[in-house]
């Protein structure tokens, strides 16, 4: 039976422990995801406290990270989502995503509504992909795909 988490601090503490173990063991997020059969984005988000893992996946990452049964249980618990406390983020990478939404948020909203109608793009029925490609002008570029199910607003 799925259980919901009430206090996010337990999951935050587990995230700290998991990242520390990942670092000590010199594992990549991809290696952890490969052990589960799930996407690297989903497993990373789960280990950072944003998703519940299926039992087999929770056990697989716990084995790789030497986490105990309490950690497996917590990894299977539906978390309290949202990892950025109120205000503008200060981490430069996260801030740049905030900046992108400040600049392009209204554009995204206008284009979504024009093409789909009144509704939202789900962050629950969602896929995320991050790829690095060579920039023909030099350096590298990031291609980030946000793939969410459209959910129309329904009058009631």
Strands (E), the chain: 119-134, 140-152
Helix, strand and coil in the chain, % to nearest 5: 45, 20, 35
What the block records as the tokens of 44 is: 């990373």
Three-state SS for 104?
Answer: helix
- Choose, from 96, 137, 141, 154, the residue flagged as catalytic: 96
Catalytic site residue 69? Answer: no
Q: Which residues contact 21 (CB under 8 A, 6 or more apart)?
A: 65, 66, 67
- Choose, from 24, 28, 55, 122, the residue flagged as catalytic: 122
- Choose, from 28, 55, 99, 141, the residue flagged as catalytic: 99
Catalytic site residue 96? Answer: yes
DSSP string, 49-74: TSSPPPHHHHHHHHHHHT--HHHHHH
Catalytic site residue 122? Answer: yes
Enzyme catalytic residues = 96, 99, 122
């Amino acid at each position: 039976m799925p259980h919901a988490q009430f206090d996010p601090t337990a999951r935050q503490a587990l995230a700290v422990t998991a990242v520390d173990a990942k670092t000590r063991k010199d594992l990549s997020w991809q290696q952890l995801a490969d052990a589960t059969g799930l996407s690297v984005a989903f497993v990373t988000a789960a280990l950072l406290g944003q998703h519940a893992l299926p039992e087999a996946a929770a056990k697989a990452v716990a084995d790789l990270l030497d986490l105990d049964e309490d950690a497996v249980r917590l990894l299977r618990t539906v978390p309290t989502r949202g990892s950025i406390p109120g205000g503008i983020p200060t981490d430069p990478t996260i801030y740049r995503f905030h900046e992108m939404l400040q600049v392009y948020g209204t554009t995204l909203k206008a284009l979504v509504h024009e093409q789909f109608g009144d509704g939202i793009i789900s962050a629950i029925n969602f896929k995320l992909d991050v790829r690095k490609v060579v920039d023909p002008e030099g350096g590298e570029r990031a291609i980030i795909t946000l793939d969410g199910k459209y959910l129309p607003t329904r009058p009631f």
